[in-house]
């Protein structure tokens, strides 16, 4: 049995002729900003991929099929319809069987990208090991999926609300390469630095393309993580965010917020503490990582063509 895929004409043509394509998650449309800002931001992200030299392919589930390349009408519909479920990789089978709509997270987007033959995916930030995971065992499915999907991920690190030290340790344990693009530090979403040094820094697009191919040529069927920090003028200071997170964690414990609800709770608390600046920075991160993803995917496609041409 093959999972049914529905390609947009543009994405199908790009894959057929060997143009670079970057997959994008649909969860940011349905569970991020409110309508119509969510639709406008999704279109800006797709334009950023194009500015980087690649074709965007926002992925979702609709009508029992994995959509690879949402049309403008798809984006508008997903942005306006309330209650579309967030679908992680473990949920894809039941949601496809049900025939409804589903917004894909980082983990499920990696599954969709690999099924579609798209080797690059861009996101604002990945999930990771949550603070207090020693007791809660709360570890994002994103980290597990990196070990299973042969897709290069371009992002601005992981959210500051996570335990970023343990997140890096987990990635090391699972042999997932972590490369920081033109930066010495592992970024933290809309903070330029998490306070942790990156395992490796690379500044050249072509070198990164070769590194990704080498990783897979060595027999690894796993992801490759490339981080790029938000632009300085759009970043928020780490100290300000840390203070808001400490207060929000205490409030969450008091209010009994746990499990999947904790991320949204903490992010909203940080947004309130920063008077909305974190939400604006979130949009900026989505766009900046998408442009870098487009550039790196284009470099990767050029390198594969050179290798194929001898």
Nearest-angstrom CA–CA distance, 176 and 51: 28
Read off the CATH number of the domain in which 157 is found.
Answer: 3.40.1790.10
Which residues span the domain enclosing 10? 1-118
Same domain, 291 and 251: yes
Would you say residue 303 has pLDDT above 70?
A: yes
Same domain, 151 and 92: no
Q: Which of 233-237, 239-243, 274-278, 283-287 has the highest mean pLDDT?
A: 283-287
DSSP secondary structure, 83-150, as one string: TPPEE-GGGHHHHHHHT--EEE-HHHHHHHHHHHT--EEE-S-B--BBTTHHHH--B-HHHHHHTT--
59: confidence class by pLDDT, cuts 50, 70, 90: very high
89: confidence class by pLDDT, cuts 50, 70, 90: very high
Taking only the tens place, the pLDDT of each residue in 145-176 is: 999 999 999 999 998 889 999 999 999 999 99
> Of the candidates 69, 98, 118, which is a domain's last residue?
118
Nearest-angstrom CA–CA distance, 233 and 249: 28
Same domain, 188 and 296: yes
Name the more confident of 116 and 266. 116
> Of the candidates 98, 118, 138, which is a domain's last residue?
118
Would you say residue 24 has pLDDT above 70?
A: yes
pLDDT value of residue 259: 67
Same domain, 98 and 32: yes
Same domain, 204 and 102: no
pLDDT value of residue 295: 98
Average of per-residue pLDDT values in the chain:
93
Taking only the tens place, the pLDDT of each residue in 211-225 is: 999 999 999 999 999
Dihedral, 62, 68, 69, 74 alpha carbons, nearest 10:
0
CB 10 within 8 A of CB 3: no
Which residues are CB-neighbours of 99 under 8 A, at least 6 positions away?
63, 64
Same domain, 153 and 60: no
Taking the CB of residue 232, how many other CB atoms lie within 10 A of it?
7
> Of the candidates 65, 93, 118, which is a domain's last residue?
118
Distances (CA, A) of 183 to 121, 122, 202, 290: 20, 18, 8, 17
Same domain, 123 and 25: no
Please say if 25 is a catalytic residue. Answer: yes
Mean pLDDT, residues 276-283 taken together: 78
CB 194 within 8 A of CB 157: yes
- The proportion of the chain whose per-residue pLDDT surpasses 90, expressed as a percent, equals 76
Mean pLDDT, residues 87-97 taken together: 97
Same domain, 72 and 139: no
33: confidence class by pLDDT, cuts 50, 70, 90: confident
Q: Give alpha helix (H) positions in the chain.
A: 9-17, 27-30, 37-51, 72-80, 92-98, 106-116, 133-136, 141-146, 164-173, 205-217, 238-255, 261-273, 277-308
Would you say residue 228 has pLDDT above 90?
A: yes
Number of domains, the chain: 2
Please say if 291 is a catalytic residue. Answer: no
pLDDT value of residue 260: 65
Which residue in the list 25, 76, 234, 291 is annotated as catalytic?
Answer: 25
Mean pLDDT, residues 237-245 taken together: 80
Same domain, 244 and 132: yes
Same domain, 100 and 197: no
196: confidence class by pLDDT, cuts 50, 70, 90: very high
Would you say residue 284 has pLDDT above 80?
A: yes
Same domain, 177 and 282: yes
Three-state DSSP at 198 gives: coil
Using the Cα atoms of residue 170, residue 171, residue 173 and residue 178 in order, give the sign of their dihedral. Answer: negative
- The proportion of the chain whose per-residue pLDDT surpasses 70, expressed as a percent, equals 99
Name the more confident of 50 and 252. 50
Which residue in the list 46, 159, 160, 234 is annotated as catalytic?
Answer: 159
Same domain, 65 and 172: no
Nearest-angstrom CA–CA distance, 196 and 293: 22
């Amino acid at each position: 049995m093959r999972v049914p895929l529905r390609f947009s004409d543009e994405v199908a043509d790009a894959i057929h002729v060997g143009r670079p394509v970057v997959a994008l998650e649909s969860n940011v449309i349905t569970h991020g900003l409110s309508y119509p800002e969510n639709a406008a931001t999704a279109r800006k992200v797709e334009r950023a991929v194009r500015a980087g030299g690649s074709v965007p392919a926002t992925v979702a589930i609709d009508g029992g099929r994995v959509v690879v390349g949402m049309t403008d009408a798809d984006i508008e519909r997903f942005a306006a319809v309330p209650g579309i479920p967030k679908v992680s990789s473990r949920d894809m089978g039941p949601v496809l069987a049900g025939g409804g709509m589903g917004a894909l997270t980082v983990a499920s987007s990696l599954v969709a990208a690999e099924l579609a033959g798209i080797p690059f995916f861009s996101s604002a930030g990945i999930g990771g090991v949550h603070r207090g995971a020693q007791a809660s065992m709360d570890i994002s499915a994103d980290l597990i999926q990196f070990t299973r999907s042969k897709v290069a991920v371009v992002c601005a690190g992981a959210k500051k609300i996570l335990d970023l030290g343990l997140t890096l340790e987990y990635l090391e344990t699972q042999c997932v390469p972590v490369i920081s693009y033109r930066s010495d530090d592992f970024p933290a979403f809309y903070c330029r630095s998490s306070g942790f040094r990156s395992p490796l820094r690379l500044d050249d697009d072509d070198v990164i393309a070769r590194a990704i191919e080498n990783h897979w040529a060595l027999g690894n069927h796993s992801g490759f993580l490339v981080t790029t920090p938000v632009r300085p003028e759009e970043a928020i200071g780490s100290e300000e965010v840390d203070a808001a997170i400490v207060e929000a964690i205490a409030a969450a414990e008091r209010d009994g917020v746990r499990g999947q609800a904790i991320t949204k709770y903490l992010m909203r608390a940080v947004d309130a503490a920063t008077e909305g600046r974190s939400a604006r920075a979130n949009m900026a991160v989505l766009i900046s990582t998408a442009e870098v993803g487009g550039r790196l995917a284009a470099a990767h496609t050029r390198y594969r063509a050179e290798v194929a041409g001898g």
